[in-house]
Structure 1
Amino acid sequence: MANLNSSAAAAAADPSLLAVDEVLRVYAADAEQGLTQHEAAQRLAQAGPNELKAALPVPLWRRVGAHFRDPLIHLLLAAALVALVAWAVEGARGWPVDPIVILAIVLLNGALGYVQEAKAQDAVAALSRMTAATSAVMRGGQRVRVPSVDLVRGDVLVLAEGDAVGADARLLQAASLRVQEASLTGESEAVLRDTARLSAAVALGDRVNMVFKGTSVVQGTGQAVVTATGMDSQMGQVAAMLEATPQAATPLELEVGRIGRMLGMAVIAITVVVVGTILWMTPVHSPAAVVHVLLLGVALAVAAVPEGLPAILSVVLALGVQRMAGHRAIVKNLSSVETLGCASVICTDKTGTLTRAEMTIERVVTASGTAYVSGVGYAPEGRIEHAHAELPAGPQRDELLLVLCGGSLSGNAVLRQEGGTWNIHGDPTEAAFLVAERKLGATERRERRFERIGEIPFTSDRKMMSVLALDHEHGGAGVLVCKGAPDVLLQRCSHVRVGLEMVPLDAALSAKILADVDTLSNAAFRTLAVAYRPLAADENGPALEALEHGLVFAGTVGIIDPPREEAAVAIAEAHRAGIRVVMITGDHPRTAARIAADLGIVSAGTPAQALTGADLDALDDTQLIAAARTTHVYARVAPAHKLRIVDALQADGNIVAMTGDGVNDAPALKSADIGIAMGVTGTEVTKAAAKMVLADDNFATIVQAVREGRGIFDNIRKFLRYLLSSNMGEVLMVFGGVVGAGVIGLASPDHAVVLPLLATQILWLNLVTDSWPALAMGIDPSTEDVMVRPPRRMTDRVIDARMWIGVVEIGLVVATVALLTMDMALPGGLFEGTQDLDTARTAGFTVLVLAHLFNCFNARSENTSAFHRLFVNGWLWAAVAVSVLLQVAVVHLPFLNLAFGTVPLSLPQWLLCTAMASVVLWYSELRKLLRRACMPPAVASTGA
C-alpha cells in the first residue's frame, strides 16, 4: 500500500466530509485487511509515535535555581558579599560569621522549596500511573491488539464496548455505537455515531461519523480508519494550544518580589544616608576608619533585611501544602496555596465536577401522574415516591413497573456490584433504567419472566430501538418493547396504558403526553419513552420493523446527570466568602442552566441565562469582559472559548481559579491564576497544566483549600508586620544611636563612631529571636471571619499603606525605648548612668529582643487586642519561651558573650529591660483601642 502523501492529507483536512470509499482511498487503507505489519512500521517511522509531545524535562540545576530568583534572596546575597569583603579588608581574622549565616539561610530556603515541590510532583505522578493503552486493529487480515502509541494513519480500528479510542478516526461501520466524549467536548451524554458523510463542516461535538483520541466506547461496535495521530489529533491540537498559553506568576510571587525590590531600595537609601552622614560628621583619616564605616553600612543592611523571611515564607507555605494534602488536594507550587485564598471567581466544568457523571432517572410520568425517584448514582438506593410518600400499590405503580421494566429490557447495559461498589458496563442512559428498576424491586422478576430473542438497534434516523422478547408468565407469548424519543414513539401508538387497562389514544391524551414531555424538557431532563405491543402467535415471523405500529404507550422518564450534594454546600460557602462560581461546559444550555439553579450557582428565582459558544463568537474582547461580569453559566463552548472566558475575567481584575478534568480544559487551567485538575477522572494533559490536583475529584475540597489559602494569607501579613516592624526598630535604633550619639552619651574618647548594636547582634535578632515567633505566627489558627470576608483584589497589597504606617510607628517606639535604656546605663546623656559601653549595649540589645517578643502578640492583628484569643496558638508561646531562653544564654554564657559582644546583666537590669520593652505592648493596645473607636464594628472585629 502506498504511503499517505501530503496532498492527500491536505484534501482530507476534515475527514467527516468524505464518503467511506473516499476515506479509504485517501488514507490508502483496506477495510477488510487493514495494513500489513511492514506498511504499519513504515508509516510509524515516517510519522512518529501516536503520543502527545512531552515537555522537555527541566534540568536539575534550573529546578534548584528557580528557588533563588526572589529579589529578597538577591538582596541577602548582596549583603553577604559586602560582609565578606568587609571581613577580608579587616584582615580575614576568624570565621566570616555574618556571610556564612546569611548564606545558610538562603540555602535553607531553596532546599525547603525544592523538596516540597518535588513531593507534590511525586504525588501527581502517582495519581497518573496507569497501564499502557492498547487498541484492536486489523493487520494483514487479522484482528490484533497493539499499543495505542503504535497506531498510524490508515490503520483500521475495531471498536467495541469499553474500548478507549486510541486515535482520531473516520467511521466505516457502526452498530449502535455510542461514544463518551466528555473529556474532549464536555458533553455529558454518550453520543450515537453514524457512518454517513456530513454535508458541511460542523463543530467537533457534532461530527457524528468520527471518533477521537481520548474518548471511550460505551455501547455497540464499529470500525474506523485512523485519520490523525499524536499532535495532529484533536487532543494534540488542544495540547499545542496549551503549549502556547503563558503561565503567569502567582499574586504572592509578585508581591514578594515587590517587597524584595522595595527593601532593596530602602537598604541602599538608608546605607547611603547614614554612611554619608557619618563621613560628613566624622572625618575619616585611615583605612581602618573606612572599614569601620563599611561595617556600619553592613550592619544597617543586615538590620533592614529580614533574613529569615524567605525561609519562613517557604516553611509556612509548605505546612499549608501538607495540611491541604490531608484534605486530598495536591499543590504543585508553594505560592499557589495563597493564590486560592484570594480567588474571586471559580470557573468550573460541569460533568464529573459539579455532577456525578452518572445518568439517573428522577421522574417517571405515566397516565396516572408523575412519580419521583429518590437516590442518585448507580447504587440502587432510594425509592419511588408520589406526593412525598412511597408510591403505594395501585394503577400508577403498575404503570411505572411497566415503564422501568420495559426500559431495562430494551437496553444492553449491565449493572454489577463489584467489591461493594455498583458499576455499569454500557450506555449510562440505559443503565439508569436498571438502577431505577432495582429501586422498585422488580429486576429479578423481569429477568425470570422475559427472554430476549431479537433486537433493532437505535439509530439517529429512527430515534428508537426495539426488542422482541418471550413472556414466560404468559406461555412464552411474544412481546415487542420499544424505547426512544417520546414524539417518535407516540406516532406509532394506538393505545395508552392506564393501570392494567389499555385505553385508546385520542387527541386529548396525545396532547397531555406531549405537554408532560415539554414539562420534563423545560426542566432540563433528557426524555425517553417506553411503549410495547403484545404479539399474536403468528406475528413472530415478520421482520421486527413491520411490527412497530399499534403500540401501547407506557410512559416517559426524565433522566439527568445529578449534581453532587457536597458541591451545593461548597458553592454556598463560596458565595458567603464573596467568590463567584461560574459554570463552563460543553453541555446543552438548558441542562447547564438547570444544574446551575439546583446547585445555587445562580440565586433562587433568578433565571440562569447561559451564553453559548456561538454567543461568545459574536462578542469582541471588550464586550466579553462586560458580559463576564454578570454571566454565571456558559454552555456549548469549545476549548478556545474557555480560554477567552478566563482571560476576560482576569482582564476585569479577578483572580481566577479554573477546575476541570478533560483535555479541553487544559489551556484555560494553565492560563488561570490557579488551575485545578481532577486527579481521578482528569487527563494527563490537564494534570500537567494545573497548579493543583484534587485527589478525590471533590469540588468541596476547593472550598477547604480556599479557607486554607485565606488563613495562610492572613498569617503572612501577621509575620510580615512583625518582621518589618522589628527590623524597622533595629534600623532606627542604629540610625538614631549614630546620629544622636551625643544626646544619649554614646561616644568614645577618640571621637570614633560607636555602634549601638553590633552586626552579629543584629543577625542574632533577625535569624534566631525574630524567626521562631514569625514561624509560629505562620501557623496561627484562622480567625472566625476568614470565610465571610470578600476576597482581596488584585490591586490590594500584602503590605498596604496602613501597615507601613504601623510598621514605622512600632519601629520608632522600639528604637526609642532601646536607646533610652542605653542612655540610662551610660554616663552623660539625658540620664546619668554608671555602666560601661558593653553593659549599655547588652541592655539595649536585650530590650530590642524583649520588645520584639511583646510585639509578636501585637502583630497578630491590626485592630484586635493582643489579649483576644491570647492562648489559641501554643506554638507562639513556645517560640517566645525558646527566644527568651536563648537571649538569657547569649547574655550569661561566656562563650556566647565572646561571640556576640555581650556581658551578664543583674536581676534589676533584667527587670528594667522587661519594663522598657513592654512599652511597645501598651502603646499598641492604646493605638488599637483608638482605631476600634473610629471604625465600624464589622471592620473592627477583623482578626487579620
Structure 2
Amino acid sequence: MKNGIQTAHHSLRAHEVVLLLEADAFRGLKVDEIAGRRQAYGLNVLPRSARSGILRATGRQFNNPLVYVLIAAAIVTLVLGEFVDTSVILGVVIVNVVIGLIQEVRAEAALEALRSLVATRSVVLRGGQRMEVASEYLVPGDLVLLEAGDKVPADIRLVRASGLRVDESALTGESEAVSKDEVVLPLTTPVADRRNMLYGGTLVTTGNGSGIVVAIAGETELGAIQRLMGAVTPAPTPLTNKLASFSMRLTVAILALAALAFIIGVVRGQHPAGMFTAAVALAVGAIPEGLPAAVSVTLAIGVRRMARRRAVVRRLPVVETLGSTTVICSDKTGTFTENQMTVTALRTPSCHYEVTGTGYGPAGAIAAPSPVQPAVPAAAGDAALRWCLVAGAVCNDSAVFQEDGQWHVRGDPTEAAMIVVSGKGGVDIQRFISCNPRQGTLPFTHERQYMASFHKDAASETGSLLLVKGSLERVLELSSSHMGSDGSSMPLDGRTISQAAEELAGRGLRILATAMKRLPGAPEIDATTPLEGLVFTGFQAMYDPPRAAAAGAVRSCRDAGIAVKMITGDHLGTAIAIAEAVGLDSVTTPKRALAGTDLEGMGEEELAAAADKASVFARVSPELKLRLIDALQNKGHVVAMTGDGVNDAPALRQANVGIAMGRSGTEVAKEASDIVLTDDNFATIEAAVEEGRNVFDNLVKFITWTLPTNMGEGLVILVAIVLGSTLPILPTQILWINMTTAVALGLMLAFEPKEPGLMSRPPRDPGQSLLTWTLMLRILLVSVLLVGGTWWIFEFETTHGSTLVEARTSAVNLFVMVELFYLFSCRSLTRSVWKLPLFSNHWLVVGVVIQAAGQAALTYLPSMNDVFHTAPLSWEAWLRILGVALLASLVVALDKHFRGNII
C-alpha cells in the first residue's frame, strides 16, 4: 500500500487509531506537521489514469475488419480513377476513427468525474485552531469537523458523533441515511455496515461529528472503485462483433471471387492487364459501400426514437445491443422504485389508516380502509392520529420544498416522508411550531434509537411539550400508556401494537413510532437521562414505493425472454419486498434471493450458477457487482446494467449496456454509462429494448436487400469472364447502381416502424451470425434472379436489333427495377408485402420517386448518356424490364410464403 496505512480502522478503538496515526483527537495535528505528511502521502485527489498517446489511440481505431473493407474499397476505387468515390469512402473511415476516439475520451471522463467527486472544502482543527481548507490538502491524521450538509472529503474514523446520519447511497446503494457512532466493529464488517466510518464522496444529512482522516486519495473506498473502473475494458457490442465477423468473411469472399475471375480470364487467353481491370471491377461491384452509412443512419434513427422515449444514447452501437439483451440487472432505488420515501399506512392504538399518494408532493389523503371505522380524511377526528402526525413532522430536522415544479428534500428522506403525510392529514406544521416553539432536542443515535424534541406548550403557561419518534421497540419501552382517539390515556397494549407492526414490516415497510408527553415545567435536556412515562400515539409505515409502470415492464421483458435481476446495496428484506411488488421471478423460493455475504465465499463456477438462477442480490459491494456481471457474460449472456451511484460505475462499464439514471444518478455513473434515462424509470429500459430490437431488424432488412445487388454485380462480371463475353454492365454503371440505390432505396429501410410481436420473440442468440443460413439462401436466390434477368435482357436486346449501349442501359435499369421491387419485400422478413401499409414508411415512397427520377435522367439526359455510356430506351424495352422485375418479385414472395421467418 502506498501510504502504509492499514485499512481495518473500523475494528480499532478510536484512541488506537489516534495513536496509530500519531494524531490528536482534541486539538488536531500541529500545523508544522502538515507539510511533512503532505510530502509523504501526497494530495488528497484520486490519481489520474495512464493515458495513451494520440497516435496509439488513433491506431487502435483502425484495428477493425470493417475499416479494412472500407480502406480496400478506397484503394480499388482509386485504381479505377473514381476519385470522388474514394474521397467518400475515406471520409467514412475518418468518421469511424473520430467516433472511436470520442468513446475513449468519454471513458477517461468517467474517471475524471470520479476524481472531482471529493473536491470540496473541509473544516479541520489544526493546533487547536478551527480552519477551513480545500479537501485536496487534507492529510492522514487530520481532525475533520462535520455537520449536516457537508460532503465527506476522505475516509474518516469517527471519534465523536451526535445524531450523525450520512447518505451513503452513492457509495453503497443503501436507500436510507445511515446512523453513525464511534462503536468498535468486528474486523469482517462490510463497508455498508461500518457505522463508525465515514467515506469520501458521501453526504452528511443530519447531526454533527468529528473524526480522524485514515485514508486519502487512491487509498480510499472511492480509490478502490476507481481502480476497478480502470481495470474494466468495456465489452464489445454484439453488433461490433457481428460486423467484424461479417466484414472478414465478406472480404475473403470478395478477394477469392476477384482472384478466381482473374485466373479464369488469363487461362482463357485474356490479357492480364485487362483481366486485372475486370477483377477490380468485380471487387467494386461486390463491396457494399453503403453498409457503413446504413449502419450509422439506422443507429442514429434508433437514437432519436429512444430519446423520444426518455433514453439518451451516448454510444451508437449499444442501440442494437439493447435488442440483443438477455439479462437486465437493475438497481432497486430510483429504477424499480420512485426514490421517494412515502408513508403508506398509519396505526394508532385504536384505529388503522391507509394513505394515498406517493412521493414528496402533497397529493393524497388519509382514510380508514374499513366502513366500521370512521372515515377520517384529516387528523382532526382522531387525537391519537393527530399527535402521531405532529410528532413525526415536528420532531424532525428535514425539510420538503418545491423548486422548478419538482419537490425536493433537504435532509433525511424518512423524515421528509413524515412531513408530507402530516400535510395530507391536515396538520399545519408552521402554525404548530409558531405556537409551540422548539426549546431543545436529543438527536437520534444508534444507542438511543429515538429523537426527542422539547417545545413550549401553548396549552400551559409554564409547561413544556415533549415529542418523540424512533424505533417501535424503543418507543414502546419508554411509554407507559397509549392515547385513545378522544385524547384520553389508556393502558398500553404493546402486544397488539407490535403484532400490527410485524405484519407491515413483513411487507418490507419501515416502521417509526411516535409518542408525546406534557411536562409540568421547563424541560431538562440531558442526553444521558433516558425518557420515561411517554404516551404512545401510534406508528407510521413507509417505504420507497415501486414505480407504477415497473411491474408491467418486468412482465414485458419476461414475455420477451429477457431475465430481470435486482442487484442492490440495500437490505435483503427490503429488496425482496420490492422484487415481489414488481413481479420478479419466484424471489421467495430458496436460492432466488441472496445477500452479499452468501456470494463472497463462492468460487467462480458456483457464483456463475447463482448469478444465473437468483433474481435478487442484496447488500452487494462494487466488487461483487462486477463479478456478477462478469459471471453472467461468461455464461453467454448479453447484460444490461442500471445504476446511479459511484459504486455502480465499474459494473456499468463492464456490462454490455450500462444504463445510468439521469435524475438521481451521479456524474460518475452517467459518464461510465452508454445510455442515460431521463426519467429514472425501469419501464423506459423495456421501451429502449424494443427500439433496439427494431434497429437490428432494420439492419438485417438492409443487408438482406443490399447483398444480392453486390453479389449479383460480381457474378455478372464473373459469368462474362467465364463465357469470354462482353460485359453486360460497365464498372462506371456498377458504381452508379451502388451509390444511388444505397442512398435512395436501401437507407429508407432504416425508417421502417416496429413489426407486430417484436417483444414476444425470445432474444437472439448472442453467438448467432449476422447472416444465417436461411438469410443467405434468400440472398442467393435474389442474386441468381438478378444475374439471370440481366443476362436474358442483355442477350435479348443485342439479338433483336438494339445497340450494345442500349442493351447495357436495359441491363442497368433491370438491375435497379428488381432492387426496387425487392425493396418492398424487404420491408418485412416475415409478412407478405400486400399486408404492409404502403405509407407507414413515407420515406420509402420518397426514395422510390427519387430513384425513378434518377433512372430517367440516366437513360434520357444526353449529359448522363455521355458519362455513363447509356442511351434512351423504347417503351417496349421498359415493359420487358418491368415484367422481369415483377416475375422476380413473385418468386421472392413464394419463397417468403413457404420458408416463412428468416430472422
Indicate the TM-score class for this superposition, using the shorter chain for normalisation. over 0.9
Cα displacement (A) at 1:617: 2.3
Amino acid at match of 2:624: H
User: What SS does the corresponding residue of 1:205 show, helix, strand or coil?
Assistant: helix
| 1:341 and 2:335 correspond | no
What secondary structure does 1:646 align onto?
A: helix
1:277-316 aligned within 5 A: 277-280=264-267, 282-284=268-270, 289-316=271-298
Question: For residue 262 of structure 2, what is the aligned residue in structure 1?
Answer: 275
Matched position secondary structure for 2:758: coil
Shift of 1:777: 0.6
- Seen in structure 2, the aligned counterparts of structure 1 residues 122 and 388 have a Cα distance that, compared at 3 Å, is farther
Q: Does 1:466 align with 2:462?
A: no
Measure the CA separation in 1 of the matches of 2:276 and 2:310.
52
- Name the counterpart of 1:171: 158
Aligned twin of 1:193: 180
149, 153, 161: which one pairs with 2:148?
161
Match of 2:231 in 1: 244
The answer to whether the 8 A contact 1:175-1:222 is kept is yes
TM-fit CA distance, 1:765: 1.4
State the partner residue of 1:751.
none
Residue 886 (structure 1) aligned to one of 854, 863, 869:
854
- Deviation per residue, 1:635-672 (Å, 9 max, x gap): 11111221122122222322110010111112211111
Question: Of 351, 356, 375, which aligns to 1:374?
Answer: 356
Listed one character per residue, the Cα deviations across residues 539-587 of structure 1 (whole Å, up to 9, x for unaligned) are 8458576572222221122121222334344333333333222111111
**C-alpha distance in 1 between matches for 2:735 and 2:60:** 26
- Write the deviation string for residues 20-67 of structure 1: whole angstroms up to 9, x where unpaired: 233233333334443466644554444333222334556555666565
Name the SS for the 1:441 alignment partner. Answer: coil
Change in 2 beyond 3 A, CA 1:48/1:685: farther
Indicate conservation of the 8 Å contact 1:120/1:330, yes or no.
Answer: no
Deviation at 1:132, TM superposition (A): 5.5
1:766 pairs with 2:775: no
- State how 1:370-769 maps to structure 2 within 5 Å: 370-387=352-369, 390-391=375-376, 397-444=382-429, 445-505=431-491, 509-537=493-521, 540=523, 543=526, 546=529, 548-602=531-585, 609-740=592-723, 747=725, 754-769=726-741
Mark the CA change 1:134 to 1:35 in structure 2 (over 3 Å): closer, same or farther: same
One-letter identity of the residue aligned with 1:104: V
* Residue 717 (structure 1) shift: 0.5
- State the Cα distance separating 1:811 from its structure 2 match: 0.7
Equivalent in the alignment of 2:313: 331
Q: Is the 8 A contact 1:593 1:608 kept in 2?
A: no
TM-aligned CA deviation for residue 394 of structure 1: 8.8
* Number of the residue aligned with 2:43: 49
Match of 2:344 in 1: 362
For the residue of structure 1 that corresponds to 2:152, the secondary structure is: coil
Measure the CA separation in 1 of the matches of 2:709 and 2:387: 78
TM score, norm. by length of structure 2: 0.93
Could you tell me how far apart the structure 2 residues matched to 1:797 and 1:385 are?
Answer: 59
| Cα pair distance change 1:653/1:817, threshold 3 Å | same
Q: Compare 496-505 and 578-587 and name the one that shifted more.
A: 496-505
- 1:238 deviates by 1.1
Helix, strand or coil at the partner of 2:454? strand
Bigger shift: residues 297-306 or 436-445: 436-445
Task: Report what 2:864 is aligned to.
Answer: 896
Long gaps (5+) in structure 2: none
User: d(CA) in 1 for partners of 2:69 and 2:188?
Assistant: 59
For 2:55 and 2:104, locate their aligned partners in 1 and report how far apart those are by CA, in whole Å. 18
Greater mean deviation of Cα atoms: 904-913 or 340-349 = 904-913
Q: Does 1:18 align with 2:12?
A: yes
Find the aligned partners of 1:154 and 1:49 in 2 and give their Cα distance: 14
- CA-based RMSD of the aligned residues comes to 3.0
Distance across 2 between alignment mates of 1:229 and 1:161: 22
State the Cα distance separating 1:803 from its structure 2 match.
0.4
Kindly indicate whether the alpha-carbon contact (under 8 Å) linking 1:124 and 1:687 is maintained by their aligned counterparts in 2.
Answer: no
Q: How high is the TM-score relative to the length of structure 1?
A: 0.89
Q: Unmatched 5+ residue regions in structure 1?
A: 1-5, 88-95, 742-746, 748-753, 828-832, 933-938
Contact kept, 8 Å, 2:118 with 2:135, in 1: the verdict is: no
1:731: how far off? 2.1
Among candidates 870, 883, 889, match of residue 838 of structure 2: 870
Q: Is the 8 A contact 2:452 2:466 kept in 1?
A: yes
Which SS does the other structure have where 2:89 is aligned?
A: helix
Tell me which residue corresponds to 2:806.
Answer: 839
Kept after mapping to 2: 8 A contact 1:737/1:819: no
Structure 1 distance, partners of 2:275, 2:134, is: 72
Cα pair distance change 1:572/1:109, threshold 3 Å: farther
Give distance in 2, aligned partners of 1:642 and 1:163. 28
8 A contact 2:73–2:89 mirrored in 1: no
Structure 1 residues 147 and 355 mapped into 2: Cα distance closer, same or farther (>3 Å)?
Answer: farther
CA distance in 1, matches of 2:654, 2:106: 23
Distance between the aligned counterparts of 2:305 and 2:778, measured in 1?
31
Give the drift of 1:185.
1.0
Give a deviation string over 1:378-436, Cα, whole Å, max 9, x none: 22221102217852579973221111111223222223334544332222222222111
- Conserved 8 A contact 2:456-2:464: yes
Shift of the 891–540 alpha-carbon distance from structure 1 to 2, 3 Å rule, reads closer
CA distance in 2: counterparts of 1:680 and 1:137, whole angstroms: 33
Alpha carbons of structure 1 residues 771 and 580: separation in structure 2 relative to 1, 3 Å: same
Count of residue pairs brought into register by the alignment: 895
How far residue 441 of structure 1 moved from its aligned partner, in angstroms, is: 1.3
- Tell me the SS of whatever aligns to 1:629: helix
Provide the C-alpha distance between the structure 1 equivalents of 2:867 and 2:569, rounded to a whole number of angstroms. Answer: 68
Which whole-Å CA distance do the structure 2 matches of 1:590 and 1:409 have between them?
29
Cα distance change of structure 1 residues 451 and 476 upon mapping to structure 2, 3 Å threshold: farther
Residues 117 and 334 in structure 1, CA contact (< 8 A), matched pair in contact too: no
Which structure 2 residues correspond to residues 823-834 of structure 1 after superposition, within 5 A? 823-827=795-799, 833-834=800-801
1:914 corresponds in structure 2 to 882
Which whole-Å deviations, capped at 9, do the CAs of 1:685-714 have from their partners, x for residues lacking one? 323322222344333332232122111111
CA 1:540–1:77 in 2, change beyond 3 Å: closer, same or farther?
Answer: closer
Checking the alignment, whether the CA contact within 8 Å between 2:746 and 2:823 is kept in structure 1 is yes
Distance 1:626 1:546, change over 3 A: closer
Distance in 2, Cα, partners of 1:779 & 1:114: 26
SS in 1 for 2:578: helix
Pick from 761, 777, 802 the counterpart of residue 749 of structure 2: 777
Change (3 A) 1:695 1:823: same
Question: Any idea what SS the aligned residue of 2:211 has?
Answer: strand
Letter in structure 2 aligned against 1:921: S
Q: Which amino acid aligns with 2:17?
A: V
CA deviation profile, 1:217-253 (whole Å, cap 9, x unmatched): 0000111221112211101101101211222210000
Question: Which stretch has the larger CA shift, 777-786 or 137-146?
Answer: 137-146
> Secondary structure at the residue paired with 1:549?
coil
* CA distance in 2 between partners of 1:718 and 1:573 (Å): 25
Tell me the residue number matched to 2:217: 230
Structure 2 CA distance, aligned partners of 1:323 and 1:56? 37
CA distance in structure 1 between the partners assigned to 2:146 and 2:120 by the alignment? 14
In 2, the alpha carbon distance for the partners of 1:159 and 1:792 equals 53
Contact 2:76 2:284 in 1 (8 A): no
Distance in 2 separating the partners of 1:617 and 1:15? 21
Do the aligned residues in 2 keep the contact of 1:416 with 1:422 (CA within 8 Å)? yes
